[in-house]
Copies of this chain bind each other. A is one copy, B any other.
Amino acid sequence: MTEFATARRSRITPEREAELYEAVLELLREVGYDALTMDAVAARTRSSKATLYRQWGGKAELVAKAVRHGKPGGSVGEVDTGTLRGDLHALTLRSDDCEMEQSSALMRGLAMAVHGNPDLLKAFKEHLVEPEMAEFGRVLQRAVDRGEVRADCPALQFVPHMMIGAFAARTMLDEQPPTQAFLLSYIDAVVLPALGAPTP
């Protein structure tokens, strides 16, 4: 067998690659990073472990790639309703309850692993955290520009902690995944008053 033939044989189609990454994310949500094995990925995707190792090198690389693949970094159409409350509600309503449960499970599955795995932390931040944060940043900037929030409001810097924190704490405290209804009432009860912005 020539080198060329080997290289060709190891190539997989983009559809197959996407399928594989989705299976990895599924397993991460179910069992978490530590308990995820290459055997389980191979079984679920009906591929050989040899292929997985040849293509990705190892579990850390495969998981980081899957995280990078999982969610589009860009925004699905800019949100701009004319009020901060409208914008925060619209951002929340873009993920349905099922997607929120999945994100929350993925966050849990990766929480421990991102410490001590710099490449995974980078993928996690760049693809799951920062796009959301950038969007909140734009929405808040417009609220400041419109005069809904004072530019020197000390709560501005904590909006990511308020939002992502509530998302993470929901499962821990109430044993249920975050839902649209939970986040909408949290926005009205906590985020807007903390920012001194108009509430309903």
- Interface SS of chain A: helix
In the complex with contacts A158-B186, A164-B165, A168-B168, A112-B121 CB distance below 8 A: no
Contacts of A115 in B (CB 8 A): 108, 171
Contacts of A35 in B (CB 8 A): 34, 112
Contacts of A131 in B (CB 8 A): none
Interface size on A, residues (CB 8 A): 42
CB-contact partner of A161 in B32, B173, B188, under 8 A: B173
Question: 19 A-B contacts, Cβ less than 8 Å apart?
Answer: A32-B112, A34-B35, A34-B112, A108-B111, A108-B115, A109-B112, A155-B193, A158-B166, A158-B186, A158-B189, A158-B190, A161-B173, A162-B162, A162-B190, A164-B169, A165-B166, A168-B168, A168-B169, A194-B194
